Structure 1
Amino acid sequence: MRLSRRGLILGGSALLAGCSSAATTSSIPLVGAAPTLSRVPDHAPAPQVHMADAGTMIDPHGLVRKDLVERARAAMDTHGHRISRRDRMYLVDFQKFSGSERLYEVDLEGGWVTSYRTSHGRGSDPAHSGYAQRFSNEPDSHMSSIGAYATAGASWGSQQGPNVLLDGLEYSNNLARERAIIIHGADYADPAFLAREGKLGRSYGCFSVSHADLVPLRERMGEGRLLFAMT
């Protein structure tokens, strides 16, 4: 992203340009200003919640890849000084198709898993196949970044509106703030777009979700929780 697209951090709040909408199926990179906020849909399907019986293991139904869970828990220990909240964590499986539920909220106390859909960067999928194939931490690459992030709280950006800030904790994503990589709502991640196109649109590297899904995520992610993205 260019300098004008970076977040301006003031006393813990942020004015972020965020990711531009990338709903087009063209593989030609888009440039220019991000669109204005779109209307929140009247309704959307509720996220899929899979409950574990009391006292059972985390994710007993095996919704999340075991290696993803294991890597995320190891990252939680590695970055313990930045991950102060350990009641739940957020995982992104970039091996999965963009139209699939691949963003997971994992309750580490009750064992349940809530799944959502999320977009990847257009630079990660230049042919718009629906699969992320490349990852980068470089500004203006428009690619998604993998690795461990710490959630940094709810914010509001002038382009994308309500969002959740992220701090990258590894060499693979430590420019997340500079690149304005956030979690925000987008029309191209809404159910109507998926129904029409058969896959989600692409972001400029942000973890874009439907406008409806952003509401619970923004409330629950807070500060100091792990988000771990892996391919």
Structure 2
Amino acid sequence: MEKPSVVHRQRLKRRAKRFTRRIMPFVAALFLATPVAAPVSKTLARTRTHQTLPTAEEMRATFLNQRFDKLYQAMNLEAQGLRFEVFEKAMTGYLNLKEADKLGGKDRLTVVDFSLPSTEKRLWVLDLDSKQVLFHTLVAHGHNSGENMATNFSNENESNMSSLGFYVTQAEYVGKHGRSLKLVGLDEGYNDNALKRAVVMHGADYVSEDFIRQNGRLGRSLGCPALPMDQYAQIIDAVGGQTCLFLNGNDASYSSHYLNQDIAAQALAAANTNTGQLI
């Protein structure tokens, strides 16, 4: 009777060892996971405790950014070289001017980016109603603003420099450059002397690809955003009559009360409610 008992006990031991080998990996995994699970739960609890709702300013900025990005994509502006941050500023100003009733009936926005060299096409005329780019072309900066790059800007008479900021186009006239378009600068201290300085849109033969090939840059104006001779008349027709023009440039000191996001959001929300359109 003793021998079978010994054999039986040995079999039980072998089974116990096999069971232990099989179960140990699961026990070890459970053991290792346990200390990790507690801190994670605490972290999530802390996150929920300290989570705050976005501020009205953050919600406003998000609303504008999403709407501007949708329009930016719909018009394929990145492929045409217009940076989103410049478009965003231009659109904010456009909506501020619209809310202030300073614009006419055309949903047109002209953007000039003087942070780009004169050898690049840095003027865009946008039809915000049809979501089309009407013109994308060259534009000159002021003689004393720089050579190929515009780095200096002024609002002073006889400075021969470009002036940054928001403008509203006015009536056209025929002057020494032929058909020209008057511009009213709206940013006090930055471009509000535009009419006194006779800063206007006009055509110039030094704004051309041929001039760039011969000189390595465009010719320069006395402060006017001068346009190519083969396009200036069509551009004047498209943007004349109280439309928005925004001249952007590398000047950290520039500021404008027309970059008010609160007013822009109100104008955009109103436009969406009244027409169902993006703008």
Both structures adopt the same fold (TM-score exceeding 0.5): yes
Give TM-score scaled by structure 2 length. Answer: 0.59
Higher relative contact order (CA 8 A, sep 6+): 1
Alignment of 1:1-231 (within 5 A): 57-62=73-78, 63=80, 64-80=82-98, 81-113=101-133, 114-125=135-146, 128=147, 130-157=148-175, 159-171=176-188, 172-231=190-249
Name the structure 2 match of 1:16.
none
Query: Aligned to 2:243, what secondary structure does the other structure show?
Result: strand
- Quick one: distance in 2 between partners of 1:66 and 1:214? 25
CA contact (8 A) 2:140 2:218 kept: yes
Displacement after TM superposition at 1:109 (Å)? 1.8
Q: CA deviation at 1:59?
A: 2.5
TM-score (norm. length: structure 1): 0.71
Pick closer, same or farther for the CA change 1:56–1:77 going to 2, 3 Å. closer
Cα pair 1:142 1:203 within 8 Å, conserved: yes
One-letter amino acid matched to 1:165 = K
Question: Does the C-alpha gap of structure 1 residues 74 and 56 become closer, same or farther in structure 2, counting only changes over 3 Å?
Answer: closer
Deviation >6 Å, runs of 4+: none
Q: Distance in 2 between matches of 1:58 and 1:86?
A: 19
Could you say what secondary structure the match of 1:223 adopts?
A: coil
Superposition RMSD in Å: 1.7
CA distance in 2, matches of 1:202, 1:56: 30
Aligned pair in 2 of structure 1 residues 160, 228: CA closer, same or farther (>3 Å)? same
What SS class does the counterpart of residue 118 from structure 1 fall into? coil
Q: Percent identity?
A: 31
Unmatched runs of 5 consecutive residues or more in structure 2: 1-70, 250-279
CA apart distance, 1:57: 4.4
Letter in 1 for 2:144: G
- Structure with the bigger percentage of helix: 2
Deviates more, 1:191-200 or 1:169-178: 191-200
- Aligned letter for 1:76? Y
Q: Which has the larger radius of gyration?
A: 2
Q: Distance in 1 between matches of 2:74 and 2:108?
A: 11
Counterpart of 2:125 in 1: which secondary structure? strand
Query: Residue type of the partner of 1:65?
Result: R
In structure 1, how many angstroms separate the alpha carbons of the residues matched to 2:163 and 2:236? 20
**Shift in alpha-carbon separation, 1:179–1:61, aligned structure 2, 3 A:** closer
The alignment partner of 1:189 has SS state of coil
Q: Cα distance, 1:86 vs. partner? A: 4.5
Query: Shift of the alpha carbon at 1:87?
Result: 1.7
Q: CA contact under 8 A between 2:119 and 2:217: conserved in structure 1?
A: yes
**1-side partners of 2:155 and 2:87: how far apart?**
23
Matches of 1:176 and 1:209, distance apart in 2:
17
Q: 1 or 2, which has the higher strand percentage?
A: 1
For 1:215 and 1:226, the matched residues in 2 are separated by 17
CA change 1:61–1:174 in 2 (3 A) is closer
